[in-house]
Structure formats: C-alpha cells, structure tokens
Amino acid sequence: MSQLDDIQRAAQEQFGRQSHRYGRGHILENIEDVRAAIDPLDLKPGMKALDVATGGGHTGIYLASLGCDVTLADIAEPMLQRAAAAADALGYKVKTELHAAENMPYAHSCFDIVTCRVAPHHFSSPEAFIAETARVLAPGGWFVLIDGTVEDGQLEAEEWAHQLEKLRDPSHNRLLTPGQWTRLCKSNGLNVTRTVVTPFKQPDLQWYFETAATPLANRVRVRELIANAPDSARRLFRLGEENGKIVWWWQRLTLVARKQTI
C-alpha cells in the first residue's frame, strides 16, 4: 500500500481496532439502501465489481450474491479479513485488496461497477477517490455511492454534525453535500443519473459511542453539543429521545452515476 496521510492512518487505526463491531448485528447489516440503489441497474453475473472501504463487507457480499466477480477493498486489514470470512461463510468467493480509496492499485477501465457505502466521510481526499473511481471504471460502468450527507445550504447544521462526528470518531473527516458529490462526479466524466436523500436512524447514542470506542471526555462534549444543538440541526436531524435513548436521523445520500462511453 502506498504511504498514508494522517487522516488515512487515523482511519486505518480506528477501524483496525473496531473491526469486530461492523459485522453481524451492526445497523449496516440492513442493506435495503444497497438493494434500492443496485437492483435497478440490472447487473449481470460475471460483471466485475469493486466495493471500496468494504468494512464488514455488507455491500460487496450483496454484489457477490448477484453473481458479480467481487473485489473487497479496505484500508484496514482486520476489516478485510472479517469481510472475506463473512463472504466465505455464505459460500461466496471474493478477492480482497488492501488500499486507500484515494489510490487504487488497478488498471484503467477494469470494473463494471464501483460501490462505496458509509465510508467516504472518512476519506482525506474525496477528489482523489472520485478521480480513481472514474479511472478504474469501464466506459458505461456504474458508480454507486451511499454516505451520510447534509443537504446543500445547511451550513450551521453541517458544522454541528461535523463537530459531533469528529468528537465521536476522530477518523471522521467531512460530510459532503449532494451538490458537492455531483460536481465532483461531473468533473471526472461520471454522469449522475440519480441522487436521493433519505433519513437514516441513529438508534442509540450510547451504542454509537461504543461502536467507535469514543473517549469518555469526548462523550461528555457530544452530549453538550446535543443539549445545545441549534434549531437548524435539531429540525434537520430530528433530534429526540426514545425510551431513554438519544436518537436522531442522519441524512443519507444515494448517488448513482455512469461513466461516459466516449
């Protein structure tokens, strides 16, 4: 793997340590969002698929279940090992590759689909990630991005969410808006065919802390941020309490794009 920058190294350490949290039982095991994005693309068995920042492998394993020839990639080796074991337990053969999303070790135009779910907010360079995605996709190939977002024009709420996420998990980098992702895709020859923002429940602040092993001092500061959240964030993320648990609804972007054919 090429040399990592500070943000990439922080993510590698964080997810290497916490890999056991992202498999069975994690909320990302529910792949309704993945199905909704991928099923309309009518993928054919044998198509070559790359799942970037695969984590527990939930998205890549779904691609394998459709008969795709799947490569699972991640920056953290323990994640790759667990994702490969999860695929193996279900009877799917997948390849694994250890690399950063911003620097991919593949030839030009060698994948029919690239997916990346709930990870790009950790990337140190979304620009490099999109440029690499466009490079490794074959003409006509699909790109499916699913990630937390904040709708365009909500600067105060975005800054609040940024502070909260950074305290909860210092390897968090930045949430991009649908408009920012769309512009990046367009400038790299990826034609955006669909963007949709849907609410995604954060069901329990305590669970959210434990998943990231958030330091105790940061947990206190996150609780303060929530208690003092501006109205814009309170409304946008529907901050609330259910059965004694602090809950909210992140905004989740699904973006589908297709690489230009000429």
Ligand X SMILES: C[S@@+](CC[C@H](N)C(=O)[O-])C[C@H]1O[C@@H](n2cnc3c(N)ncnc32)[C@H](O)[C@@H]1O
Rounded to the nearest 10°, the torsion over CA 227, 237, 183, 155 is -40
**Binding to ligand X by residue 54, rule CB under 6 A?**
yes
Q: Which one, 55 or 178, has the nearer CB to ligand X?
A: 55
Q: Is 11 in the site for ligand X (CB under 6 A)?
A: yes
> 204-233: b or e for each residue (b if 16 or more CB lie within 10 Å)?
bbeebbebbebeeebbeebeebbeebeebb
Contact assessment for residue 126 and residue 176, using Cβ atoms and an 8 Å cutoff: yes
Q: Which is nearer to ligand X, 126 or 189 (CB)?
A: 126
Q: Does the footprint of ligand X cover residue 61 (CB under 6 A)?
A: no
Is 173:121 a contact under the CB 8 Å cutoff? yes
Instruction: Please give the residues from 231 up to 250 whose contact with ligand X meets the rule CB under 6 A.
Output: none
Helix (H) or strand (E) holding 151: none
Q: Tell me the C-alpha to C-alpha distance, in Å, between residue 117 and each of 8, 67, 232.
A: 17, 20, 26
Q: Which of 8, 133, 202, 251 binds ligand X (CB under 6 A)?
A: 8
CB of 28 to ligand X, least distance (A): 4
Q: Does 56 interact with ligand X (rule: CB under 6 A)?
A: yes
CB of 32 to ligand X, least distance (A): 12
According to the binding rule CB under 6 A, does residue 252 interact with ligand X?
Answer: no
Write each residue from 90 to 129 as x if it is in contact with ligand X (CB under 6 A), else as -, in one continuous string. Answer: ----------xxx--------------xxx--xx------
Single out the segment in contact with ligand X by CB under 6 A; choices: 71-79, 106-114, 189-197, 224-232. 71-79
Rounded to the nearest 10°, the torsion over CA 177, 183, 184, 187 is: 180
Is 144 a binder of ligand X (CB under 6 A)?
Answer: no
